């Protein structure tokens, strides 16, 4: 039996990522009612992503473009609310580019395709919502039916979504559509080190670190709620890193994105088979939070220390690896 100590710290992590939009065109041209003018484009801008890695930002700009953001649209009477449960198809996709928007020059870093226009019936208002990833983006299997997006995650992709936004009508032409995205998964950051040279020899290379998670998930568009599928699938998700030699300094061994809930970590090295780490008190991961797990390998045990970036300090706990 190998015994370890688990320390848990929690801190609230919120980074704001500004998105500005561009105009986009509706898939179908609407009939022009009598007395109405030509189609007026809808601007998308001023959106915010409450973000954490792997969607990384610097001063509100992503360090890499985000592709295939799924945009849904529904036009309803101006005093009515959209019924997203009737939507089973995506109206457009968007790309978030890694440069700042310059609205005065009509330059936007949130580009929606095709362009969207206000409904030519002035009594109809256009509503939008969005989520990421899309179909087969980053190897994620995704479907949309009756307002529910279904994902099968691998541990290496994020899920973000934005609640419904009312763009108004052709007569109101309200401010640009601002999406407020939030993260639906939790990120687990794995760091490893050896306590001394003897531990390096004893354990050998770290070959795998995994976290157990539900992998088939449903996002209900109307409520922005992520839940397990009616037919649950639970898997051990890996960091995907190649075997790595231990050093006496903490070194990243990758990240895993998991469905929020109780956290279980499994470790395998070249000289020892897979071992399950039970953290006590258990860590309950939260959507949008980033948990750093420091694994210290000693000649006789693995010591585990966990911190939740950005939240208040949590109660220390103890764990045993058998």
In the Cβ-directed half-sphere of 21, how many Cα atoms lie within 13 Å?
29
Q: In this predicted model, which residue has the larger pLDDT, 316 or 242?
A: 242
pLDDT over 70 (residue 4): no
Give residue 288's pLDDT band: very low, low, confident or very high (50, 70, 90): confident
What was the pLDDT predicted at 277? 77
Give residue 157's pLDDT band: very low, low, confident or very high (50, 70, 90): confident
Q: What is the pTM of this model?
A: 0.77
pLDDT over 50 (residue 29): no
The range of the structural domain enclosing residue 8 comes to 2-12+186-215+235-321
Mean pLDDT of 224-242: 94
Give tens-digit pLDDT for 89-115: 999 988 877 777 676 777 667 778 898
Question: What is the rounded distance in angstroms from the CA atom of residue 254 to the CA atom of residue 40?
Answer: 47
Give residue 78's pLDDT band: very low, low, confident or very high (50, 70, 90): confident
Instruction: Please report whether residue 311 resides in a domain.
Output: yes
Whether residues 196 and 54 share a domain: the answer is no
Whether residues 22 and 155 share a domain: the answer is yes
Q: Which residues of 212-228 are buried (b: 16+ CB within 10 A; e: fewer)?
A: bbbbbbebbbbebebee
Whether residues 52 and 150 share a domain: the answer is yes
Give tens-digit pLDDT for 116-152: 888 888 889 999 999 988 866 665 778 899 999 999 9
Instruction: Please report whether residue 273 resides in a domain.
Output: yes
DSSP one-letter string for 256-309 = EEE-SSB--EEEEETTEEEEEEEEESPPB--TT-EEEEEEEE-SS-EEEEEEEE
Mean pLDDT of 212-222: 95
Whether residues 296 and 257 share a domain: the answer is yes
In the Cβ-directed half-sphere of 252, how many Cα atoms lie within 13 Å?
9
pLDDT over 90 (residue 250): yes
Which two structure tokens, joined as six digits, stand for 203? 């354990």
Percent of the chain residues topping a pLDDT of 90: 37
Coil vs helix vs strand at 139: helix
Give tens-digit pLDDT for 30-77: 333 333 556 777 766 534 455 444 555 555 566 777 888 899 999 999
Question: What is the rounded distance in angstroms from the CA atom of residue 222 to the CA atom of residue 198?
Answer: 55
Whether residues 20 and 160 share a domain: the answer is yes
Instruction: Please report whether residue 226 resides in a domain.
Output: no
Mean pLDDT of 164-181: 75
CATH number of the domain that residue 255 is part of: 2.60.40
Give residue 176's pLDDT band: very low, low, confident or very high (50, 70, 90): low
Whether residues 90 and 206 share a domain: the answer is no
Question: What is the rounded distance in angstroms from the CA atom of residue 41 to the CA atom of residue 25?
Answer: 7
Sheet of 186-194, strand order: 234-238, 206-214, 265-269, 272-280, 317-321, 2-10, 302-309, 290-297, 186-194, 251-258
Query: What sign does the dihedral 285-291-297-303 (CA atoms) show?
Result: negative
Whether residues 203 and 143 share a domain: the answer is no
Give residue 174's pLDDT band: very low, low, confident or very high (50, 70, 90): low
What was the pLDDT predicted at 173? 61
Total number of domains in the chain: 2
What was the pLDDT predicted at 111? 79
pLDDT over 70 (residue 23): no
Q: In this predicted model, which residue has the larger pLDDT, 301 or 215?
A: 215
Give me the residues paired with residue 62 across strands. Answer: 57
Instruction: Please report whether residue 228 resides in a domain.
Output: no
Percent of the chain residues topping a pLDDT of 70: 68
What was the pLDDT predicted at 116? 87
């Amino acid at each position: 039996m190998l015994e370890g100590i688990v320390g848990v710290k929690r801190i609230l992590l919120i980074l704001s990522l500004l998105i500005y939009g561009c105009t986009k065109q509706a898939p179908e041209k609407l009939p022009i009612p009598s007395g109405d003018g030509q189609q007026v484009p809808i601007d998308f801008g001023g959106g915010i992503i409450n973000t954490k890695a792997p969607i990384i930002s610097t001063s509100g700009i992503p360090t890499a473009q985000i592709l295939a953001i799924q945009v849904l649209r529904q036009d309803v009477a101006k005093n009515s609310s959209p019924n997203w449960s009737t939507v089973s198809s995506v109206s457009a996709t968007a790309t978030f580019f890694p440069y700042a928007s310059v609205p005065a020059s009509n330059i936007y870093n949130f580009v929606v395709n095709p362009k969207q226009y206000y409904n030519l019936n002035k009594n109809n208002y256009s509503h939008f919502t969005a989520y990421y990833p899309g179909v087969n983006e980053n190897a994620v299997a995704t479907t949309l039916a009756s307002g529910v997006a279904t994902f099968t995650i691998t541990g290496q992709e994020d899920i973000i979504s934005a609640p419904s936004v009312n763009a108004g009508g052709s007569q109101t032409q309200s401010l640009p559509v601002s999406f407020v995205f939030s993260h639906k998964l939790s990120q687990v950051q794995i760091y490893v080190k050896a306590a001394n040279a003897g531990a390096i020899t004893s354990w050998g290379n770290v070959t795998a670190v995994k976290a157990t998670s539900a992998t088939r998930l449903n996002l209900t568009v109307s409520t922005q709620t992520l839940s397990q599928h009616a037919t649950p699938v639970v898997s051990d998700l890996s960091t995907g890193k190649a075997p790595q030699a231990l050093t006496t300094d903490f070194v990243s061994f990758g990240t895993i994105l998991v469905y929020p809930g109780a956290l279980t970590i499994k470790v395998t090295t070249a000289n020892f088979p897979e071992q399950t780490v039970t953290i006590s008190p258990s860590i309950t991961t939260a959507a949008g939070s980033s948990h750093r797990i420091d694994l210290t390998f000693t000649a006789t045990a693995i010591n585990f220390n966990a911190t939740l970036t950005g939240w208040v300090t949590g109660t220390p706990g103890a764990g045993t690896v058998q």
